[in-house]
Chains A and B, each alone.
Chain A
Amino acid sequence: MFDLAFIAAQEAHEIHAGDGGWWADTAGIMLALPLVAFLLILAFGKRMKYQGGEIAIGALAINALWASVLMVLNMTEGVLTQTTFVIGRIGSGLVFELGWVVDGLSILMYFLVSVVGLLVFIYAVGYMKGDRRLPWFFAAFSLFAGAMLVLVGAPNLVQLIIGWEGVGLASYLLIGFYWEDLANVKAGNKAFLVNKVADVGLVLGAIIVALAVGSFDFFDINEAAISGNAELGAVAVVGALLLFFGAMGKSAVFPLHIWLPDAMAGPTPVSALMHAATMVTAGVYLMARMFPLYQNMAQEARTPMIILGAITLFGAGLLALVAKDIKRLLAYSTVSQLGYMMTVIAAGGYTAGMFHLFTHAFFKALLFLCAGSVIHAVHSNNMSDMGGLRKYMPRTYWTWIAGSLALAGVGLSGFWSKDEILSTLGNEGYQIVMWVAIAGAFVTAFYMARATVLTFHGSYEGEREPHESPSVMTVPLILLAIPTAFAGLLNIPGVSWPVIGNFTEWLAVRIVPMGDHHAESIDWLIGGIGLLAAVAGIAVGWAIFSKDRDSQEDRDLFEIPVFYPLFRRGYYIDDVALGAVGATIGPIARFVDWTNTHILDAIVNGVGMAIKYLGGFVYGIIDQRGVDGVVHGVSAIADGAGSVLRRMQTGQVQQYAASFVAGALILVVVFVFVL
């Protein structure tokens, strides 16, 4: 129930927030609804008209409404409560509690999961129509959303791990949804196993931190991190790195990103939800939740986090550049964007990271749903089967353009969140990382231009006549396009809207305050450079890919050597470079060549002959007689011992048992009488 220490701390930190009234006190219902829906769909789904889709949508619709009310309450007055129930005790000192946190961060995640989830669910009714296992799909989908809500509502690490594993399980079920195909099953297994590897880190980190603090509660841990608890300080770096390792799995940070592109095997709505609101955001959420630990205690852990994040954001962008499959391209782009979030959170930009998560959720869900709409129309994932779809699918096209511009960081919501990231990196003194991020922005715009051109422009390459998707699919697209366009306005640095304030203020409503670094005013220089990089990316991409729309081979040329065609198309660069090299390097090279043949060669030959004779001596005497003799002797001993000892392996279980008992007896005698 209500935590008295919690309320006291709230007063101590001078946080002025409402308690959210009835909506926050009973927010646990929101966590339970999708799980109830999961059971109901399993029980009754088959007999219903939409195969259980109506239950799933109903549950999430209530949740979306609920989360919206909480969001509005948080915008106007702030909401900060925590409700917990003691379930049991772990060991002597630790308490296992379940419950729900209602603060700025959680409300944001409730809102994202519910609203994006609702739109994806509605879309899925159209997309999955006619599939054989629809009830199972909606059930697992509800479980997915429900587990994510349990995760983001967790007041302590234990409940977070429960939700974390639930998300992993549901994603496994959904990635392998078309399990008739072995490749899909393998993709599901891969996702599950990679996540399991990371989960080891999460569990170990949770235990280490909880034992040091004496509580699993986020509030207690963050409080300890703020106040400089010595016991926590001793293990902070190890614990923080282990927790980050756990987050790397879910949030697909290099080198544990490998499962995410394969996870495309699942149905497209699953990818949309997985990449936008659930699953991959879990790791970023964990980092944000534990932010004070990283900010105040484990500074040493931040450098590896930033390096890995930077590798991820740039490397994954390059991979997206050569993807043929439209969903795979979007998946790599998600990896890259997650890299941005992780990097900036590690660099101290809590608000910047969460703001990018917020805008990214909308536009990435939008892009995936658009891709699904396209796949639905042409029955292929491959971009070489597409092209010219602009004419056939206008709604999908225009919403895709909105999503692409946002992702590329040109104008729409993505511009504001990416700008926030860049300026935070710059302000915190990570200049090199900031330039990597700007290069990443260029690559992002580049591959999105490529995807847009190959999919929607030029002439249609497929065989079936494509058609616009039904409105049950396009309406969610349009609804998602609205926040994609305007969500960025919520956090213009230095601007606080009347009544609702801005995103930074909403997020600041937290259990434990922390030294978040966010931009106070618009940084026109960095923003301009970022915008310039993005526009340049689009221009280069457009120039390369829109020309060769006619010949199929040239489009594929880009796939193999990454930068080859880039140079090929601007080949005067090659010419200039070659000419310059010929004029300046040529005489030097000829001089070096002469010296090489006449002087160096003589020396080299002499040394070579000497070494040859020395080698002959070493080989003949020392190696053949001395070393080899020893080697043969050792191997003969091993061989003889092996052939004697192997007789002990009789295969008779009872002989083994007898040896076991005899060994135990001898050990007991040794321990009791000898030692």
Chain B
Amino acid sequence: MILSQFLILAAALFAFGIYGLLVRRNIVLILLSVELMLTAVNINFIAFESVFRSPDAIGQVFAIFIITIAAAEVGIGLAIVLMIFRNRKSANVDELSLMRY
């Protein structure tokens, strides 16, 4: 196994995430895409950690922090989606364009 194969895989996942983020209209699906991107970042951390070992396993600790923050982000994100849905009867981002000229 070489390091690059994992990094390229992570890059592909990250690119999928960006595509979803830019294309999807439903907010829940956009959040799914963001999760995909976070996972790609985690793969990078873990891969680097397994090659360049650090005394305190910093890469894995960071991955754990990212997972934790992502969980919190999903909770808050879905609560916001719920609020938006209640107020506007829709969960599509392109209909949320009040902040325009």
Contacts and interface: CB of A to CB of B under 8 A. Distances in A.
Contact flag (A, B; Cβ within 8 A): yes
Interface of A: 646-647, 649-654, 657-658, 661
Contacts of B21: 654, 657
Nearest to A654: B22
Nearest to B18: A661
A647 B101 CA distance: 7
Contacts of B23: 654
Contacts of A646: 101
Contacts of B18: 661
Contacts of B72: none
Interface residues of B, number: 12
A176 to B, nearest CB: 28
B28 to A, nearest CB: 14
Interface string B71-101: 0000000000000000000000110111111
Interface of B: 18, 21-23, 93-94, 96-101
A653 B101 contact: no
A658 B101 CA distance: 19
Nearest to A661: B18
Given A650-B97, A651-B99, A651-B101, 4 more contacts: A651-B96, A652-B94, A653-B93, A654-B94
A461 B63 CA distance: 73
A649 B100 contact: yes
Given A653-B96, A654-B93, A654-B94, A661 B101 contact: no
29 contacts: A646-B101, A647-B101, A649-B99, A649-B100, A649-B101, A650-B97, A650-B100, A651-B96, A651-B97, A651-B98, A651-B99, A651-B100, A651-B101, A652-B93, A652-B94, A652-B97, A652-B100, A653-B93, A653-B96, A654-B21, A654-B22, A654-B23, A654-B93, A654-B94, A657-B21, A657-B22, A658-B22, A661-B18, A661-B22
Contacts of A658: 22
A32 B94 CA distance: 55
Contacts of A652: 93-94, 97, 100
B88 to A, nearest CB: 13
Contacts of B100: 649-652
Nearest to B25: A654
A658 B23 CA distance: 10
A653 B91 CA distance: 13
Contacts of A647: 101
A567 to B, nearest CB: 61
By Cβ-Cβ distance, the 4 closest A-B pairs, closest first, are: A651-B100, A651-B97, A646-B101, A649-B101
Contacts of B22: 654, 657-658, 661
Contacts of B93: 652-654
A668 to B, nearest CB: 13
A577 B101 CA distance: 68
A647 B100 CA distance: 9
Contacts of A649: 99-101
Contacts of A657: 21-22
Contacts of B97: 650-652
A661 B93 CA distance: 18
Nearest to A649: B101
A267 B88 CA distance: 46
A573 to B, nearest CB: 67
Contacts of B101: 646-647, 649, 651
Nearest to A656: B99
A250 B97 CA distance: 46
A175 B94 CA distance: 47
